[in-house]
Amino acid sequence: MARGTSAIVWCALAATGVAAAQNDDSVRMNQIQVIGTHNSYHAGFAPSAAKYWQEKAPKVYEGLNYSHPTLTAQLDGGVRQLEIDIFPDTKGGLFAHPYGEKAIAEAGLPADPPYNADGVMDKPGFKVLHVQDIDYRSRCEPFTACLAEVRKWSKAHPHHLPVFLLIENKYGKLKDVPFPTVTPEEWTPAIFDDLDKEIRSVFPESEIITPDDVRGKYATLNEAIRAGNWPTLKQARGKVIFLLDQRRYESMYTEGHPALQGRILFTNAVPGAPDAAFTEENDGTPEEIDALVKQGYLVRTRSDEPGREAPKNDTSRRDVVLKTGAQIISTDYPAAEKHASGYEVELPGNAVARCNPVLQPAGCTDSGLAAKK
């Protein structure tokens, strides 16, 4: 390399490093925007299961016919929010023998790869799956294995932007299905305690951004985030933050833990509540999303849903949400997983993150954010 060219490259790298340092010191974690994936663990149907459900329930199949690579591959591809669906299984074995496996055998279809070959579904602990008895294959199992995979990636990339882990606590028996299905366990305060324990068994709190961290000296989380008390990127890099999807369990999770004191996950809270810091606006208008973002809330929204926008390469919803200040935009088709139609969701330049387009934090540069993956 010529000496002059070397000097130019060196100067460019140095400028990028300065921008990254300035970002880290002044920009807070709610002042950026990242792409996430919906049902990030989802492996899709095995071949014979796909054939069976496509014939027996084509509309159901259409909505479930998608998959993601491993969590590691998604993180390597720039995704910074992962969604994991979990069911409690306090005794073990509740989801070990799904109806779908029996149905495939009875239909005379070729056997799919063995399910539960390692016996992990027989053991107690939270299980990762989408729809009991129908759509149950996951890229990682059980929940602690998913967490361990994320932590391994995190330790290998110690300067990464915070990774948002959205945990959907699944519930309820399937309705109007013509075959027997598992009835999931009811969520209870004790089971939520077990959830916190499982997370802590994998991630030490020094690697997690907790509600206590954000609340700081304030009486409630809502006061803290409205005062701008989210951690800076310097404080947040190399860490994960856990978000609880189902708002119906907000009061149960906060029981005995006012404003989430001592808890691990941020609830999908009603704005204005003492525990309110994170909220979902999957169907919110751009005006509603931006109003919440400007008040200090961390907002997650979706750019598409399975079987709807992507097959038609309909980008209208995607294009609208990308102009909002929602910090987390979730999709089934990030740039590394483009749909056959050409549909994909990415930030400009396929960046891992960008400065929030609505908050426009002073001193923030997109190049500084991308400098450290």
pLDDT for position 21: 58
Decide if pLDDT at 290 tops 90.
yes
Name the E strands within 227-346: 240-244, 265-267, 278-280, 298-302, 328-331
H or E segment to which residue 44 belongs: none
- The answer to whether residue 101 sits within a structural domain is yes
- The answer to whether residue 215 sits within a structural domain is yes
pLDDT for position 194: 98
Region 324-346 average pLDDT: 97
- The answer to whether residue 13 sits within a structural domain is no
CATH number at residue 182: 3.20.20.190
Q: Which two tokens mark 9?
A: 């490259």
Q: Which two tokens mark 356?
A: 């929030």
Percent of the chain with pLDDT over 90: 88
- Region class of 11: left (phi > 0), else alpha (psi between -120 and 50), else beta: alpha
Decide if pLDDT at 12 tops 70.
no
pLDDT for position 5: 57
pLDDT for position 110: 97
Decide if pLDDT at 83 tops 50.
yes
pLDDT for position 109: 98
- The answer to whether residue 11 sits within a structural domain is no
- The answer to whether residue 155 sits within a structural domain is yes
Helices 47-56 and 99-106 meet at what angle, rounded to 10? 80
The answer to whether the beta carbons of residues 244 and 260 sit under 8 Å apart is: no
- Tell me the pLDDT band of 363, cut-offs 50, 70 and 90: confident
Rounded distance between C-alpha atoms, residue 130 and residue 87, angstroms: 9
Mean pLDDT of the chain: 94
Chain segment 187-232, per-residue pLDDT in tens: 999 999 999 999 999 999 999 999 999 999 999 999 999 999 999 9
Region 238-247 average pLDDT: 97
- The answer to whether residue 8 sits within a structural domain is no
Rounded distance between C-alpha atoms, residue 271 and residue 259, angstroms: 13
For residue 169, the number of C-alpha atoms closer than 13 Å in the C-beta half-sphere is: 26
pLDDT for position 372: 40
Rounded distance between C-alpha atoms, residue 333 and residue 305, angstroms: 10
pLDDT for position 20: 57
Q: Tell which residue, 282, 338, 337, has the closest CA to residue 68.
A: 337
Angle at 102 between CA 53 and CA 99, to 5 degrees: 70
- The answer to whether residue 19 sits within a structural domain is no
Rounded distance between C-alpha atoms, residue 276 and residue 166, angstroms: 16
- 11-15, 114-118, 209-213, 333-337, range with the lowest pLDDT: 11-15
Rounded distance between C-alpha atoms, residue 198 and residue 213, angstroms: 20
Burial 187-201 (b: 16+ CB within 10 A, else e): beeeebebbbebbee
- Region class of 92: left (phi > 0), else alpha (psi between -120 and 50), else beta: left
Range of the domain at 238: 27-368
| Higher pLDDT among residues 24 and 133, named by residue | 133
- The answer to whether residue 6 sits within a structural domain is no
pLDDT for position 23: 80
Region 354-370 average pLDDT: 92
Percent of the chain with pLDDT over 70: 93
Region 280-298 average pLDDT: 97
Decide if pLDDT at 282 tops 60.
yes
pLDDT for position 368: 85
Chain segment 30-59, per-residue pLDDT in tens: 999 999 999 999 999 999 999 999 999 999
Residues 6+ apart with CB under 8 A from 271: 222, 279, 292, 295, 297
Residues 6+ apart with CB under 8 A from 252: 187, 188, 189, 192
Q: Count other Cβ atoms within 10 Å, centred on residue 234.
A: 14
The domain tally of the chain equals 1
Rounded distance between C-alpha atoms, residue 62 and residue 110, angstroms: 22
